[in-house]
Amino acid sequence: MMKNTIFFTFILTCILCSCETDQDEMILQEDTTTEITPVTEIDPTIITEYHIISNDQTTRVYYFDTHGNIFKYRDAANDFETHFELDDNLKITAIVKKDVSGNTIEVLQDITYDSNGNISQINDRTFFYNTEENTYYEDSEHMQDGVLLNTQEDVFYNTYYYEEGNPMLQYCNMETIVELDPYYFYESCHEDFGWTTGFYNANLTSIFPHYYTYMFDNQRNPLHSNTNLKDIIAFIPELRQEMSQFYMFFSENNRIREYEPGGPPDEWFSDYEFNEYNLPTHRNSSYFYAGEQVGETQVTAMYYYQEE
């Protein structure tokens, strides 16, 4: 009887050990199973490229990140790209010239912000932001930390300011006029060196000193960017001079007409071809003089989205 009991105990122990071994193997298999990371979903409403067309040839391409924000562009005639480097808050921290392989050629603009997110330095230029005036003052031999140092002679200094209700930063080269006897001090924006933009109903309506007025449809503009390009373009002369290459990123709708009130009877009209999401795929432009079309309507831009 004792011998049978020992044998039964031995068999039961083996069975239990075998079960534990099987369970361990099952657990080990479960632990070593590789989880498949889901593929990021493609959003066909987010733009990836925007092509400027002239005479049926692409002259410039703008590229957008996965969230639809512009991050670089390239002219067809050049073998380099211009990159906008962004921080986590979509603020542009540098404008960099790179080759087509992504190697840095030159840092064109290095932009620094203070703890409140206001621009404090661009390359070797420094700025003071006056919160009460909503105005930047550029430091110079005549201006320091927003204080005019010389009020005894005519001088010039740069200001950059926000107008109420206008999200676009404006630029003015201020001129002071001083008379000493009797003392008289006056300052105004130098008319030859101002740069202001009109803004209404979420769209860029005009740019001075170009005088043109822009009109828009009510469809969403996929180029509209959430970066702070609209906050830095006034600071950088090279970008101001190229404003016609960037104005499309500041408006929420698509531009359909451009004209100069009271000026020559020139007008430019744009109409768009839309996809199933009511987003433009082509822009067709026509030029009119005194109400008559001159030349043929031409494709002047093409839009490409994540699904394409």
Question: Is 48 contained in some domain?
Answer: no
Q: How far apart are CA 260 and CA 267, in angstroms?
A: 8
Residue 191 pLDDT level (bands cut at 50, 70, 90): low
The pLDDT value recorded for residue 263 is 81
Backbone angles phi, psi at 136, to 5 degrees: -95, 140
* 21 pLDDT more than 50: no
Q: How far apart are CA 23 and CA 4, in angstroms?
A: 29
The pLDDT value recorded for residue 41 is 82
Residues 29, 139 share a domain: no
The pLDDT value recorded for residue 161 is 96
pLDDT in tens, 48-102: 999 999 999 999 999 999 999 999 999 999 999 999 999 999 999 999 999 999 9
Sign (positive or negative) of CA dihedral 239, 144, 89, 162: negative
Residues 239, 150 share a domain: yes
Mean pLDDT, the chain, integer: 88
pLDDT in tens, 279-304: 999 999 999 999 999 999 999 999 99
Sign (positive or negative) of CA dihedral 227, 45, 299, 211: negative
Domain residues for 1? Answer: 1-33
Question: Is 151 contained in some domain?
Answer: yes
pLDDT in tens, 155-185: 999 999 999 889 999 999 999 999 998 988 9
Residues 85, 224 share a domain: yes
When comparing pLDDT for 10 and 162, which is higher? 162
Q: How many domains does the chain have?
A: 2
Residues 170, 128 share a domain: yes
* 37 pLDDT more than 70: no
Question: Is 261 contained in some domain?
Answer: yes
- The percent of residues in the chain predicted with pLDDT above 90, rounded, is 74
Question: Is 46 contained in some domain?
Answer: no
Residues 290, 175 share a domain: yes
Residues 72, 25 share a domain: no
The pLDDT value recorded for residue 39 is 47
Residues 194, 99 share a domain: yes
Residue 9 pLDDT level (bands cut at 50, 70, 90): very low
Residues 148, 8 share a domain: no
DSSP helix, strand, coil percent of the chain (3-state; round to 5): 15, 50, 35
Question: Is 44 contained in some domain?
Answer: no
Residues 174, 102 share a domain: yes
Residues 286, 173 share a domain: yes
Question: Is 43 contained in some domain?
Answer: no
Residue 211 pLDDT level (bands cut at 50, 70, 90): confident
Residues 145, 21 share a domain: no
Backbone angles phi, psi at 286, to 5 degrees: -135, 145
**CA of 269: how far to CAs of 44, 56, 213, 276, in Å?**
27, 18, 12, 23
